[in-house]
Amino acid sequence: QSEIRKRLIEAFTNAGQEYLSGQYLAETAGCSRTAIWKHIEELRKEGFLFEAVKKKGYKIVHAPENVTADEISFGLKTEFMGRSIHYEEKVDSTQKIAHRLATDGAVEGTVVVAEEQTLGRGRLDRRWHSPKYTGIWMSIILKPNLPMHKAPQLTLVTAVAVVQAIEDVTGLLPQIKWPNDILIDGKKVTGILTELQADADRINAIIIGIGINVNQKLEDFPEDILHTATSLSVETGQVISRAGLMQAVFARLEKLYLTYLKDGFYPIKLLWEGYALSIGKEIIARTVTGDIAGKALGITEDGVLKIQQEDGEIRHVYSADIII
């Protein structure tokens, strides 16, 4: 997305229902009126609908339903989250591209998004089903100045932000299953994958992968997740704007992330526990070294799960799949 295109879309976002003249747009975007006209033509080809009124100018009356940089920018209200968008029609994994961009000096809040992933990944090399046009498959680059052991907290910060965004857009009330699943009525609607680029003990970049099932129909899910997965559309009976939901995620995440950097994890922990599914329940944590069974007590200041075993011993779980 060029600088001119960015400024143009921002001007239309700020204008709301008002018309903007070609002259005004040219001045704001810093280019000629002919260039503006060409950009508007390109946006039309992408699916934007304009209303043009003589002597008044242009207004956007409809944005298309993909997740291109233009569509995500139109209506975006954040300072830095999602301000730089790298869009692809089809990729193996957005995580891979985001890692490369982060190494190449991408700014904080840069987002890689794709309409389809052919090799979307979950934790422990599991697969993430990411079919065309129906979900949000994106990776967000953050560059916090934090020691490495704090990275898992950002998974929890993100989970809270996504729950709030889903609530804002759909009115649904999702729950979080530690550490990285977001469920609606017990079925998985979102997975989060946090990956690190670190030097010694400092974080260079955190790549937060977020997969949200948005407009899939039940029959779109493959056999192996048919009974464990759901989409926002299945739950609401409506088609949800993916770009609109992404904007909501960016707004919520920017706010929570800044709170987290300023005040630490405690305020996030309180919010997180409010959305958590398994606190107080008997669970099994399946770790790479074996199962830990007991009552989920909550999370520590560092976002680590605490489980009290039957013998009373309290175990700290850093990474596991939870079976309820």
**Residue numbers of the site for ligand BT5 (CB under 6 A)?**
93-95, 117, 120-124, 126-130, 137-139, 180, 188, 191-193, 209-211, 213, 225, 229
Nearer CB in complex with ligand BT5: 124/200? 124
Q: Is 48 helix (H, G, I), strand (E, B) or coil?
A: coil
CB of 296 to ligand BT5, least distance (A): 17
Q: Which residue number, 201 or 223, has a Cβ lying nearer to ligand BT5?
A: 223
Do the beta carbons of residue 146 and residue 242 sit within 8 Å?
no
Cβ proximity to ligand BT5, 308 vs 319, nearer residue: 319
- Cβ closest to ligand BT5, residue 9 vs residue 245: 245
One-letter identity of residue 257: Y
From the CB of 127, what's the least distance to ligand BT5, in Å? 6
Closest approach, Cβ 22 to ligand BT5, in A, equals: 39
**Which run of H or of E encompasses 98?**
helix 94-103
Beta-strand runs (E) in the chain: 49-53, 57-62, 85-91, 111-117, 135-142, 175-177, 181-184, 187-199, 202-213, 282-287, 290-299, 305-308, 314-317, 321-323
89 contacts 115 by C-beta, under 8 angstroms: yes
Contacts 24+ apart (CB under 8 A), 47-51: 48/74, 51/19
Nearest approach in angstroms of CB 199 to ligand BT5 is 23
> Smallest distance, Å, CB 46 to ligand BT5?
23
Q: Which is nearer to ligand BT5, 4 or 210 (CB)?
A: 210
